[in-house]
């Protein structure tokens, strides 16, 4: 994941089964010519998230998110860094009462501006849709339950079983739910 032509991160995953995936995280400041390890989930004291990772997003050199998934009930696996990926902390988002006993698969958040972003999730039983929007750079996330097609603060979305479409400022992004959660413009 590159922020610009020079600054980027890459993760190396080691699936261990039973919803466990070890991870090393690297950063570069020279366009990928050299990489520096900044985290390893096997190191003592590592704060890299547990669970199977579904994506990583950075909005600047310091601030980023990792989404993870495991058989948790009523939890969205969202983790945030404020130091470029060296340390991570869980970012709790409120899960609606209808989903407190559900497994919720999270896709990486998409930031449309430095303050506005959207986090798409998929509850395991597919009876509901659930997404979150932030208007304060990811400090708080407002939930939208069963709104397959709607808009909020200029962010419009359409959700189907296999795809999410987001429109903002005359641009459109799509998220294929079968393509490992990668956003495309």
How many CA atoms does the CB half-sphere of 137 hold within 13 Å?
9
Q: State whether residue 99 is helix, strand or coil.
A: helix
How far CA 68 is from CA of 18, 53, 78, 162, in Å, comes to 13, 4, 7, 19
- Give all strands (DSSP E) within 50-103, no chain letters: 52-58, 64-69, 77-81, 89-90
CA distance 58 to 47: 17
pLDDT of 17 > 80? The answer is: no
Mean pLDDT score of the chain: 93
Of 181, 184, 179, 129, which is closest to residue 159 (Cα–Cα)? 129
- Assign 181 a pLDDT band (cuts: 50, 70, 90): low
Element (H, E) at 10: strand 8-17
Express each pLDDT in 70-109 by its tens digit: 889 999 999 999 999 999 999 999 999 999 999 999 999 9
Q: Is 185 or 74 the better-scoring residue by pLDDT? A: 74
Based on C-alpha coordinates, what's the Rg of the chain?
A: 16
Closest among 147, 110, 104 to 126, alpha carbons compared: 104
What gap in Å lies between CA 154 and CA 164, rounded to an integer?
Answer: 16
Model-wide pTM > 0.85: yes
């Amino acid at each position: 994941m590159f922020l610009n032509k020079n600054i980027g991160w890459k993760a190396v995953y080691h699936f261990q089964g039973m919803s466990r995936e070890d991870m090393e995280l690297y950063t570069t400041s020279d366009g990928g010519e050299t990489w520096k390890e900044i985290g390893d989930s096997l190191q003592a004291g590592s704060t890299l998230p547990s669970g199977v990772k579904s994506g990583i997003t950075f909005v600047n050199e310091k601030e980023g998110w990792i989404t993870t998934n495991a058989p948790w009930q009523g939890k969205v696996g969202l983790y945030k860094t404020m130091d470029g990926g060296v340390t991570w902390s869980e970012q709790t988002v409120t899960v609606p009462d209808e989903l407190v006993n559900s497994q919720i698969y999270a896709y990486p958040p998409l930031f449309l501006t430095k303050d506005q972003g959207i986090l798409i999730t998929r509850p395991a039983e597919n009876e509901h849709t659930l997404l979150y929007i932030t208007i304060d750079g990811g400090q708080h996330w407002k939930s939208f339950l069963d709104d397959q097609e709607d808009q909020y603060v200029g962010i419009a979305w359409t959700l189907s079983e296999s795809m999410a479409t987001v429109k903002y400022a005359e641009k459109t992004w799509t998220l294929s739910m079968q393509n490992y959660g990668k956003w495309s413009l």
